[in-house]
């Protein structure tokens, strides 16, 4: 795990004419997708996190409805707040068979580190959902509500964990701390399981998480939710306040999307855009959205590319304001 100390004081057939017999006939190009080609699906974080859950949900839907004719190999390639996994995909430039899910770290990691790739390098397929967060503490913590959390954080050193170093998991508590007037130590993880262990063991005071990843632990009482970051609290978190109703100006969501390798063929991009149009209409996808307390937010192709660029600009502004990047 990586520690990041922060101090805040308030705020993408043709028919071939038969060649003469004396000339070799060129091979007919294989229509995409080629069932003989395995789709190489990269998950840039460890098992159990939001990226992992969304990727495996999509693949299950693809298999259920026979939407992809070949084999799909999913692999978690965690490290460097997503830099390792997306770097692997970036190295497949021109491939039609490299694909990955995105998250907030896809946008923020290149702002902090020299990843060797930019978000605009990749071939955009779709933005699929916005994912808000919940701040939780150990169920045995003496902190019972957000007021008590603020009071404790104002009087004591406090640690808050998240996935990725300057991800949305970091931006939200940074803005919250700035507004509420406390300082905190941010501790980053690449895998949700490790982060949960840290909170349950008391090694970390609190954590930011996508609700769908930890609802079972909230329901069991192992984790206590203090505040939801979205504009309205979902039914699964009934009774938990949200920043908007408390008048706290923290409105940052994690964008969940899908990308292909850089310079992927146009036919591959078109196939995946049309395929994802079908995926998001399935009851299984609707259940995924509900069960993971997501907000459907759908953009395709170039509209998704523009969204990524604009969101990165917004995130960069926030991260500079809180001193996380120069």
Please give, one letter per residue, the 3-state secondary structure of 232-289: CCCHHHCCCCECCCCCCCCCCCEEEEEEECCCCCHHHHHHHHHHHHHHCCCHHHHHHH
- Exposure class string for 9-48: b at 16+ Cβ within 10 A, else e: eeebeeeeeeeeeeeeeeeeeeebbeeeeebbbbbbbbeb
Task: Please enumerate in sequence order all residues whose Cβ is within 8 A of that of 85, keeping only pairs 6 or more positions apart, or say none.
Answer: 42, 43, 44, 45, 76, 77, 78, 79, 100
Task: Please enumerate in sequence order all residues whose Cβ is within 8 A of that of 277, keeping only pairs 6 or more positions apart, or say none.
Answer: 300
pLDDT at 208: 96
Q: Are 184 and 158 in contact (CB under 8 A)?
A: yes
pLDDT tens digits for range 242-300: 998 998 888 788 889 999 999 999 999 999 999 999 999 999 999 999 988 888 899 99
pLDDT tens digits for range 179-216: 999 999 999 998 889 999 999 999 999 999 989 889 99
- Residue 126 token pair: 């779709």
Q: Are 194 and 46 in contact (CB under 8 A)?
A: yes
pLDDT tens digits for range 1-51: 444 444 333 233 232 223 333 333 333 346 899 999 999 999 999 998 889
Cβ atoms within 10 Å of 200's Cβ, excluding its own = 15
Rounded to the nearest 10 degrees, how much is the dihedral formed by the CA atoms of 142, 171, 238, 58? -130
Q: Comparing C-alpha atoms, which of 250, 270, 262 is closest to residue 322?
A: 250
Supply φ then ψ for residue 75, to 5 degrees. -145, 130
Total residue length of the chain? 326
**Distance linking the first and last C-alpha atoms of the chain:** 23
Q: Are 190 and 81 in contact (CB under 8 A)?
A: yes
pTM beyond 0.95: no
pLDDT tens digits for range 93-144: 999 999 999 998 999 999 989 999 999 999 999 999 988 999 999 999 999 9
Q: Comparing C-alpha atoms, which of 296, 292, 314, 315 is closest to residue 130?
A: 296
pLDDT tens digits for range 43-73: 999 998 889 999 999 999 999 999 999 999 9
Q: Comparing C-alpha atoms, which of 174, 167, 81 is closest to residue 131?
A: 167
> Where do the domains of the chain lie, and which CATH numbers do they carry?
39-129+253-321 (3.40.190.150), 133-237 (3.40.190.10)
């Amino acid at each position: 795990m990586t520690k990041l100390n922060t101090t805040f004081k308030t705020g993408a057939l043709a028919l071939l004419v038969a060649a003469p017999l004396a000339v070799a006939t060129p091979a007919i190009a294989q229509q995409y997708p080629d069932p003989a080609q395995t789709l190489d699906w990269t998950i840039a974080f460890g098992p159990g996190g939001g990226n992992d859950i969304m990727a495996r949900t999509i693949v299950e839907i693809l298999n259920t409805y026979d939407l992809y004719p070949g084999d799909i190999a999913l692999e978690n390639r965690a490290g460097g707040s997503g830099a390792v996994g997306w770097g692997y995909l970036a190295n497949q430039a021109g491939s039609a068979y490299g694909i990955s899910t995105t998250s907030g770290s896809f946008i923020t990691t290149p702002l902090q580190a020299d990843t060797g790739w930019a978000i605009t390098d990749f071939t955009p397929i779709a933005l699929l959902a916005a994912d808000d967060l919940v701040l939780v503490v150990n169920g045995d913590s003496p902190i019972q509500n957000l007021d008590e959390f603020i009071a404790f954080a104002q009087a004591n050193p406090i640690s808050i964990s998240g996935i990725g170093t300057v991800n949305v998991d970091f931006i939200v508590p940074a803005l919250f701390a700035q507004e509420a007037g406390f300082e905190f130590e941010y501790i980053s993880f690449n895998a949700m399981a490790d982060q949960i262990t840290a909170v349950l063991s008391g090694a970390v005071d609190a954590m930011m998480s996508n609700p769908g990843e930890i609802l079972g632990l909230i329901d069991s009482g192992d984790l206590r939710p203090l505040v939801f970051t979205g504009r309205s609290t979902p039914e699964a978190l009934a009774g938990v306040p949200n920043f908007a109703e408390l008048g706290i100006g923290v409105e940052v969501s994690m964008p969940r999307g899908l990308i292909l390798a850089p310079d992927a063929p146009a036919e591959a991009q078109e196939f995946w855009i049309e395929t994802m149009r079908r995926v998001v209409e399935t009851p299984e996808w609707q259940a995924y959205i509900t069960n993971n307390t997501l907000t459907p937010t759908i953009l395709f192709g170039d509209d998704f590319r523009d969204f990524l660029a604009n969101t990165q600009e917004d995130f960069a502004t926030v991260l500079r304001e809180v001193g996380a990047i120069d």
